[in-house]
Amino acid sequence: MKSHIRYKGYEVAPAAQLMPNGLFAANLTIEEPAASNGKAYSFDALDYFFDEEHALAYAFRWGRMWVDNHQ
């Protein structure tokens, strides 16, 4: 499952990927604003969760912290 959120001008797209062992990997893609340079950053398997919603929430929280530290 994927979500797409705009946070402080950045596109933050957390995703939960079901792994063969039944856990969900928290993945994340962050795109900088086009006015900056439009770079995209991808982070796979930030951590693993039993629940898909927890994986998405964790990835989004992680993405917000990344954006806050890169402004």
Domain count for the chain, please give it.
1
Q: CA nearest 32: which of 11, 13, 14, 15?
A: 11
- Rounded mean pLDDT, 16-44: 92
Instruction: Give the CATH number for residue 12.
Output: 3.30.160.350
pLDDT (0 to 100) of residue 1: 59
Q: Which residue range(s) make up the domain with 14?
A: 5-69
The CA distance from 46 to 61, in Å, is 11
Q: How sure is the predictor about 71, in pLDDT bands with cuts at 50, 70 and 90?
A: confident
Per-residue pLDDT of 31-69, as tens digits, reads: 998 767 779 999 999 999 999 999 999 999 999 999 999
Task: Tell me the pTM.
Answer: 0.88
